[in-house]
Structure 1
């Protein structure tokens, strides 16, 4: 599939297990309830493509680029994701439990209600990201840049934030989430 370009295609309940999709380019495609188990998507590029309720197990996403894409409700398990480029991508309800993305650029991404339990996001750039309702129990955010990010009290109480860089509003919310009375 290297060098192939798919545009405006729609796939429903397709099985791409063990497919070699390296270098594939998609634009305005839709994948719904598809399986990408042990699929190699390395060096692929996706623009305005939606992956809705898809499953990625042990898939390779290293060096892939996703621009203005949606991963709504998709689940990622034991995937090779570094380095990955995510720009203006919506990861609402995505299952990224245990994801290993230290130093990743996740700036401005929508991660509403995403499962990031036990994820490694140390030193990640999460500026202006929307983490509202995200499950962050055990999520490692040490040294992450969270300025302008939206997090709720549960996330602030459950994630490991030592050395994270935050703005004043998040600092006050963090203190309140840990039972401090500010003022």
Structure 2
């Protein structure tokens, strides 16, 4: 298959396209439909997907480097062992997506919807989750050092055994999350105690 190099598509329907193993480089897709499309093992480099629909798409084993997925619909998509390296995912919805074995290498996941996602044992160092919806997300034994969780929705989220040292946790209500066994730095520990009404002097 011919690779997509510096191509531009707007409001194109790719539902019938077989894009497996395709390489996409510096290409832009605006409001395109990939619903239930086969994108297994696709490779993207510096691409932009703006308001695209990937609901139910097969993206397993795909690799994305410095690619933007802005305000995309990813519900129920298959992202098994997919890799996202320094990608910008702002505003995208991953409700009920298959995320087993996913790799998130830094990047900006602000305002994303990752409710009830299972991100246990993941290396999430430096990832930006600013104001993301992480309700009920499982971060057990994940490495979240220097991640940005500012004002993220973390009710019912679990961080058992996770490493939170250096993470930005501004605006987090620790009373609504499970942090048993989590590693914290001194400033985080003080914020944790104060959220339960303790006076730290």
Tell me the TM-score normalised to structure 2 length.
0.88
Q: Where in structure 1 are there 5+ consecutive unaligned residues?
A: none
Q: Supply the distance in 1 between the matched residues of 2:173 and 2:29 (Cα, whole angstroms).
A: 35
1:37 matched to 2:55: yes
Deviation at 1:83, TM superposition (A): 0.7
Partner residue, 1:72: 90
Q: Which stretch has the larger CA shift, 2-11 or 18-27?
A: 2-11
1:67: Cα distance to partner?
0.9
- Deviations 1:71-99 (Å, cap 9, x if unpaired)? 01111111111111111210011111111
What TM-score, normalized by structure 1, do the two folds share? 0.96
Partner Cα separation in structure 1 for residue 60 and residue 103 of structure 2: 11
Aligned counterparts, 1:18-37, within 5 A:
18-37=36-55
> 2-side partners of 1:12 and 1:182: how far apart?
51
Cα deviation code 1:14-68 (max 9, x no counterpart): 1111111011000111111111111111111111100000011111111111111
Task: Report the 3-state secondary structure (helix = DSSP H, G, I; strand = E; otherwise coil) of the residue aligned with 1:154.
Answer: coil
Count how many residue pairs are aligned between Structure 1 and Structure 2.
183
Inter-partner Cα distance in structure 2 for 1:154 and 1:87: 23
**Structure 2 matches for 1:79-118, cutoff 5 A?**
79-118=97-136
**Matched residues in 2 for 1:83 and 1:63: separation?**
4
CA distance in 2, matches of 1:4, 1:58: 22
Query: What is the alpha-carbon root mean square deviation over aligned residues?
Result: 1.1
Gap runs ≥5 in structure 2: 1-18
1:180 and 2:182 matched? no
Mark the structure with the bigger radius of gyration: 2
Output the CA distance in 2 between the equivalents of 1:25 and 1:155: 39
Per the TM alignment, residue 153 of structure 1 is displaced from its structure 2 partner at its CA by 4.3
